[in-house]
Amino acid sequence: MKKERIVIALGGNAIQSGDATAEAQQEALKLTAKQLIEIIKLGYQVAITHGNGPQVGNILLQQINSDSNQTPAMPLDTCGAMSEGMIGYWLDNEIDVVLNKHKIDKDVVAIVTRVEVDPDDQAFKNPSKPIGPFYTEEEAKRQMEETGAVFIEDAGRGWRRVVPSPTPISILEHRVIKNLVDNGNIVISAGGGGIPVYRKDGELIGVEAVIDKDYASEKLGELIDADILMILTGVDHVFVNYNQPNQQAIEEISVEEMKKYMKEGQFARGSMLPKVEAAVQFVESKPGRKAIITSLERAIDAISGKCGTRIIL
Protein backbone atom coordinates (compact mmCIF):
# COMPACT_ATOMS: atom_id res chain seq x y z
CA MET A 1 0.00 0.00 0.00
CA LYS A 2 1.35 3.43 -1.00
CA LYS A 3 2.34 5.61 1.92
CA GLU A 4 0.61 8.98 2.04
CA ARG A 5 2.81 11.94 1.17
CA ILE A 6 2.55 15.19 3.12
CA VAL A 7 3.99 18.65 2.57
CA ILE A 8 4.35 20.44 5.91
CA ALA A 9 4.63 24.24 5.65
CA LEU A 10 6.15 25.68 8.82
CA GLY A 11 5.20 29.19 9.89
CA GLY A 12 7.54 31.76 11.38
CA ASN A 13 6.75 30.71 14.96
CA ALA A 14 8.46 27.38 14.24
CA ILE A 15 11.79 29.17 13.90
CA GLN A 16 11.78 32.40 15.86
CA SER A 17 10.15 33.33 19.16
CA GLY A 18 11.25 36.96 19.42
CA ASP A 19 14.99 36.46 19.98
CA ALA A 20 16.91 36.75 16.70
CA THR A 21 20.12 35.09 17.89
CA ALA A 22 21.26 31.91 16.19
CA GLU A 23 21.12 30.08 19.52
CA ALA A 24 17.51 31.07 20.19
CA GLN A 25 16.36 30.11 16.70
CA GLN A 26 18.08 26.74 16.92
CA GLU A 27 16.40 26.18 20.28
CA ALA A 28 13.00 26.94 18.70
CA LEU A 29 13.76 24.41 15.96
CA LYS A 30 14.52 21.75 18.56
CA LEU A 31 10.89 22.03 19.69
CA THR A 32 9.72 22.05 16.06
CA ALA A 33 11.65 18.85 15.31
CA LYS A 34 10.02 17.15 18.31
CA GLN A 35 6.60 17.92 16.82
CA LEU A 36 7.60 16.83 13.32
CA ILE A 37 8.98 13.47 14.46
CA GLU A 38 5.52 12.46 15.66
CA ILE A 39 4.21 12.82 12.10
CA ILE A 40 7.24 11.01 10.66
CA LYS A 41 6.66 8.13 13.08
CA LEU A 42 3.19 7.61 11.58
CA GLY A 43 4.84 6.52 8.33
CA TYR A 44 4.14 9.52 6.10
CA GLN A 45 6.52 10.49 3.33
CA VAL A 46 7.48 14.00 4.41
CA ALA A 47 8.55 17.17 2.61
CA ILE A 48 9.01 20.30 4.70
CA THR A 49 8.88 23.96 3.72
CA HIS A 50 9.36 27.00 5.96
CA GLY A 51 9.10 30.76 6.17
CA ASN A 52 12.06 33.14 6.40
CA GLY A 53 10.52 36.60 6.88
CA PRO A 54 12.40 37.78 9.99
CA GLN A 55 15.62 36.05 8.97
CA VAL A 56 15.85 37.45 5.45
CA GLY A 57 14.91 40.89 6.82
CA ASN A 58 17.82 40.72 9.28
CA ILE A 59 20.23 39.53 6.57
CA LEU A 60 19.10 42.39 4.33
CA LEU A 61 19.71 44.86 7.17
CA GLN A 62 23.19 43.42 7.73
CA GLN A 63 23.93 43.85 4.03
CA ILE A 64 22.75 47.45 4.06
CA ASN A 65 24.76 48.34 7.17
CA SER A 66 27.99 46.81 5.85
CA ASP A 67 27.65 48.08 2.27
CA SER A 68 30.96 49.43 0.96
CA ASN A 69 33.33 49.03 -1.96
CA GLN A 70 35.08 46.23 -0.07
CA THR A 71 31.88 44.44 1.05
CA PRO A 72 29.10 45.39 -1.39
CA ALA A 73 25.55 44.55 -0.33
CA MET A 74 24.07 41.43 -1.89
CA PRO A 75 20.71 41.59 -3.76
CA LEU A 76 17.49 40.27 -2.25
CA ASP A 77 17.45 36.97 -4.18
CA THR A 78 20.93 36.18 -2.82
CA CYS A 79 19.84 37.15 0.71
CA GLY A 80 16.95 34.72 0.29
CA ALA A 81 19.40 31.96 -0.63
CA MET A 82 21.47 32.79 2.46
CA SER A 83 18.45 32.50 4.74
CA GLU A 84 17.27 29.29 3.07
CA GLY A 85 20.66 27.66 3.54
CA MET A 86 20.94 28.87 7.13
CA ILE A 87 17.51 27.67 8.28
CA GLY A 88 17.82 24.46 6.28
CA TYR A 89 21.11 23.70 8.03
CA TRP A 90 19.60 24.30 11.48
CA LEU A 91 16.51 22.22 10.73
CA ASP A 92 18.63 19.44 9.18
CA ASN A 93 20.57 19.14 12.43
CA GLU A 94 17.54 19.06 14.71
CA ILE A 95 15.60 16.52 12.64
CA ASP A 96 18.71 14.34 12.45
CA VAL A 97 18.91 14.36 16.25
CA VAL A 98 15.30 13.24 16.76
CA LEU A 99 15.56 10.59 14.02
CA ASN A 100 18.54 9.08 15.80
CA LYS A 101 16.85 9.34 19.19
CA HIS A 102 13.82 7.43 17.91
CA LYS A 103 16.00 4.97 15.95
CA ILE A 104 14.36 5.88 12.63
CA ASP A 105 16.58 5.00 9.67
CA LYS A 106 15.94 7.98 7.40
CA ASP A 107 18.10 10.71 5.93
CA VAL A 108 17.17 14.39 5.96
CA VAL A 109 18.43 16.91 3.42
CA ALA A 110 17.90 20.63 2.83
CA ILE A 111 17.81 21.91 -0.75
CA VAL A 112 18.31 25.53 -1.75
CA THR A 113 15.35 25.88 -4.07
CA ARG A 114 14.77 28.09 -7.12
CA VAL A 115 11.17 28.92 -7.94
CA GLU A 116 10.31 30.03 -11.45
CA VAL A 117 8.09 33.08 -11.90
CA ASP A 118 6.69 34.90 -14.91
CA PRO A 119 8.59 38.15 -15.57
CA ASP A 120 5.30 39.60 -16.85
CA ASP A 121 3.47 38.79 -13.60
CA GLN A 122 1.34 41.80 -12.61
CA ALA A 123 2.97 41.71 -9.16
CA PHE A 124 6.09 43.30 -10.67
CA LYS A 125 4.03 46.38 -11.53
CA ASN A 126 2.61 46.60 -8.01
CA PRO A 127 5.20 45.82 -5.31
CA SER A 128 3.31 45.02 -2.12
CA LYS A 129 5.42 42.78 0.14
CA PRO A 130 7.12 44.73 2.98
CA ILE A 131 10.66 43.62 3.80
CA GLY A 132 13.52 44.82 5.94
CA PRO A 133 13.69 47.55 8.58
CA PHE A 134 11.58 50.66 9.15
CA TYR A 135 12.86 54.06 8.02
CA THR A 136 11.86 57.67 8.52
CA GLU A 137 10.15 59.33 5.58
CA GLU A 138 13.30 61.32 4.84
CA GLU A 139 15.52 58.21 4.82
CA ALA A 140 13.05 56.29 2.65
CA LYS A 141 12.79 59.06 0.06
CA ARG A 142 16.56 59.37 -0.08
CA GLN A 143 16.90 55.63 -0.78
CA MET A 144 14.17 55.80 -3.42
CA GLU A 145 16.08 58.56 -5.22
CA GLU A 146 19.45 56.80 -4.92
CA THR A 147 18.44 53.20 -5.67
CA GLY A 148 15.02 53.27 -7.37
CA ALA A 149 13.60 50.96 -4.68
CA VAL A 150 9.95 51.42 -3.71
CA PHE A 151 9.03 52.38 -0.13
CA ILE A 152 5.60 52.85 1.45
CA GLU A 153 4.36 54.13 4.80
CA ASP A 154 3.45 51.06 6.88
CA ALA A 155 0.54 51.50 9.31
CA GLY A 156 2.02 54.50 11.09
CA ARG A 157 5.14 52.59 12.13
CA GLY A 158 7.48 54.13 9.56
CA TRP A 159 8.44 53.54 5.94
CA ARG A 160 9.44 50.14 4.59
CA ARG A 161 10.70 48.85 1.31
CA VAL A 162 8.18 46.83 -0.68
CA VAL A 163 8.98 44.25 -3.34
CA PRO A 164 6.88 42.20 -5.77
CA SER A 165 5.33 38.91 -4.65
CA PRO A 166 4.81 36.97 -7.90
CA THR A 167 2.94 33.68 -8.27
CA PRO A 168 5.15 30.57 -8.49
CA ILE A 169 4.76 28.70 -11.79
CA SER A 170 7.28 25.92 -11.21
CA ILE A 171 9.95 24.68 -8.81
CA LEU A 172 13.15 23.92 -10.67
CA GLU A 173 14.33 21.24 -8.23
CA HIS A 174 10.96 19.43 -8.01
CA ARG A 175 12.14 16.26 -9.78
CA VAL A 176 15.10 15.94 -7.41
CA ILE A 177 12.85 16.57 -4.40
CA LYS A 178 10.29 14.00 -5.60
CA ASN A 179 12.98 11.40 -6.22
CA LEU A 180 14.39 11.90 -2.71
CA VAL A 181 10.95 11.65 -1.11
CA ASP A 182 10.11 8.59 -3.25
CA ASN A 183 13.13 6.92 -1.68
CA GLY A 184 12.10 7.62 1.89
CA ASN A 185 14.15 10.73 2.59
CA ILE A 186 12.87 13.78 4.45
CA VAL A 187 13.38 16.88 2.31
CA ILE A 188 13.48 20.52 3.41
CA SER A 189 12.93 22.86 0.46
CA ALA A 190 11.23 26.03 -0.83
CA GLY A 191 12.38 27.92 2.26
CA GLY A 192 10.87 31.39 2.42
CA GLY A 193 8.95 30.59 -0.76
CA GLY A 194 12.16 29.77 -2.61
CA ILE A 195 14.44 32.02 -4.65
CA PRO A 196 12.48 33.71 -7.47
CA VAL A 197 14.03 33.33 -10.91
CA TYR A 198 12.88 33.74 -14.50
CA ARG A 199 14.17 32.59 -17.87
CA LYS A 200 15.46 34.95 -20.52
CA ASP A 201 17.48 34.06 -23.63
CA GLY A 202 18.56 30.76 -22.14
CA GLU A 203 19.65 32.34 -18.85
CA LEU A 204 18.14 32.06 -15.36
CA ILE A 205 17.90 35.46 -13.70
CA GLY A 206 17.23 36.04 -10.00
CA VAL A 207 14.78 38.81 -9.19
CA GLU A 208 14.26 41.16 -6.25
CA ALA A 209 11.00 39.63 -5.07
CA VAL A 210 9.54 37.45 -2.32
CA ILE A 211 7.32 34.46 -3.12
CA ASP A 212 4.64 33.65 -0.57
CA LYS A 213 5.70 30.49 1.29
CA ASP A 214 2.17 29.05 1.28
CA TYR A 215 1.77 29.36 -2.50
CA ALA A 216 5.21 27.83 -3.04
CA SER A 217 4.29 24.95 -0.69
CA GLU A 218 1.11 24.34 -2.65
CA LYS A 219 3.01 24.27 -5.93
CA LEU A 220 5.53 21.85 -4.44
CA GLY A 221 2.69 19.61 -3.25
CA GLU A 222 1.30 19.42 -6.78
CA LEU A 223 4.69 18.76 -8.39
CA ILE A 224 5.74 15.95 -6.04
CA ASP A 225 2.23 14.42 -6.04
CA ALA A 226 1.50 14.92 -2.34
CA ASP A 227 -1.74 13.72 -0.75
CA ILE A 228 -1.87 16.28 2.07
CA LEU A 229 -0.81 19.91 2.41
CA MET A 230 -0.47 20.88 6.08
CA ILE A 231 -0.01 24.58 6.76
CA LEU A 232 1.16 25.28 10.30
CA THR A 233 0.51 28.74 11.69
CA GLY A 234 -0.15 30.53 14.99
CA VAL A 235 -3.74 29.35 15.58
CA ASP A 236 -5.32 25.92 16.00
CA HIS A 237 -8.10 26.54 13.43
CA VAL A 238 -9.20 28.87 10.68
CA PHE A 239 -11.97 31.07 12.07
CA VAL A 240 -14.88 32.99 10.60
CA ASN A 241 -15.67 36.31 12.26
CA TYR A 242 -12.17 36.20 13.73
CA ASN A 243 -11.68 38.15 16.99
CA GLN A 244 -15.38 39.04 17.11
CA PRO A 245 -17.94 37.92 19.73
CA ASN A 246 -19.43 35.45 17.20
CA GLN A 247 -16.04 33.97 16.23
CA GLN A 248 -16.40 30.36 15.08
CA ALA A 249 -13.74 27.72 14.38
CA ILE A 250 -13.94 25.86 11.07
CA GLU A 251 -13.30 22.14 11.45
CA GLU A 252 -14.07 20.27 8.20
CA ILE A 253 -15.20 22.28 5.20
CA SER A 254 -15.61 21.81 1.46
CA VAL A 255 -13.79 23.89 -1.12
CA GLU A 256 -17.05 25.50 -2.22
CA GLU A 257 -17.96 26.54 1.31
CA MET A 258 -14.50 27.95 1.89
CA LYS A 259 -14.71 29.95 -1.34
CA LYS A 260 -17.92 31.56 -0.07
CA TYR A 261 -16.14 32.72 3.07
CA MET A 262 -13.27 34.03 0.95
CA LYS A 263 -15.70 36.09 -1.13
CA GLU A 264 -17.19 37.50 2.06
CA GLY A 265 -13.74 38.80 3.02
CA GLN A 266 -13.51 36.63 6.12
CA PHE A 267 -9.74 36.18 5.93
CA ALA A 268 -7.05 38.86 6.27
CA ARG A 269 -5.09 39.47 3.07
CA GLY A 270 -1.64 39.48 4.65
CA SER A 271 -2.35 36.71 7.13
CA MET A 272 -4.86 33.87 6.74
CA LEU A 273 -6.02 34.50 3.16
CA PRO A 274 -2.87 33.17 1.42
CA LYS A 275 -3.06 30.01 3.53
CA VAL A 276 -6.70 29.43 2.67
CA GLU A 277 -6.13 30.18 -1.02
CA ALA A 278 -3.18 27.78 -1.16
CA ALA A 279 -5.17 25.07 0.64
CA VAL A 280 -8.12 25.41 -1.74
CA GLN A 281 -5.88 25.37 -4.81
CA PHE A 282 -4.14 22.21 -3.61
CA VAL A 283 -7.38 20.34 -2.88
CA GLU A 284 -8.77 21.29 -6.30
CA SER A 285 -5.61 20.18 -8.11
CA LYS A 286 -6.40 16.44 -7.90
CA PRO A 287 -9.24 14.29 -6.51
CA GLY A 288 -8.49 12.81 -3.09
CA ARG A 289 -6.19 15.56 -1.89
CA LYS A 290 -6.87 17.41 1.34
CA ALA A 291 -5.40 20.35 3.19
CA ILE A 292 -5.05 21.00 6.91
CA ILE A 293 -4.46 24.36 8.61
CA THR A 294 -3.56 24.31 12.29
CA SER A 295 -0.84 25.21 14.80
CA LEU A 296 2.51 23.49 15.15
CA GLU A 297 1.62 22.41 18.67
CA ARG A 298 -1.57 20.65 17.51
CA ALA A 299 -0.20 19.17 14.27
CA ILE A 300 -0.35 15.56 15.40
CA ASP A 301 -3.92 16.04 16.70
CA ALA A 302 -4.90 17.61 13.38
CA ILE A 303 -3.56 14.61 11.45
CA SER A 304 -5.95 12.37 13.41
CA GLY A 305 -8.88 14.78 12.98
CA LYS A 306 -9.01 15.98 16.60
CA CYS A 307 -8.08 19.57 15.81
CA GLY A 308 -7.41 21.96 12.97
CA THR A 309 -9.30 22.98 9.83
CA ARG A 310 -9.55 20.31 7.13
CA ILE A 311 -10.40 21.39 3.57
CA ILE A 312 -11.76 18.68 1.29
CA LEU A 313 -13.22 18.62 -2.21
**CB-count burial class (<10 Å; 0-12, 13-18, 19+) for 117:** buried
- Is 125 annotated in the active site? no
- Helix, strand counts (H, E) of the chain: 9, 17
Indicate which residue of 53, 213, 221, 308 is catalytic: 213
Own/partner pairs for 246-249, CB < 8 Å, 24+ apart? 249/309
Catalytic one of 51, 129, 178, 192: 129
| Number of other CB atoms surrounding residue 67 within 10 Å | 12
Could you say which DSSP state residue 166 is in? P
213 catalytic, yes or no? Answer: yes
283: nearest Cα among 248, 253, 249, 305: 253
- Asked if 263 is an active-site residue, the reply is no
- Nearest CA among 208, 117, 114 for reference residue 163: 208
Residue 67: alpha-carbon gap to chain centroid: 28
Residue 125 and residue 122: Cα distance in Å, rounded? Answer: 5
Q: CA 124, CA 167: separation in Å to the nearest integer?
A: 10
Q: What are phi and psi of 136, to 5 degrees?
A: -75, 165
Number of Cβ within 10 Å of residue 174's Cβ equals 18
Contact predicate 197/207, CB 8 Å: yes
For residues 220 and 174, is the Cβ–Cβ distance under 8 A? yes
Is-contact 290 305, C-beta < 8 A?
Answer: no
Residue from 51, 178, 194, 275 carrying the catalytic annotation: 275
Annotated catalytic residues are 12-13, 129, 213, 275
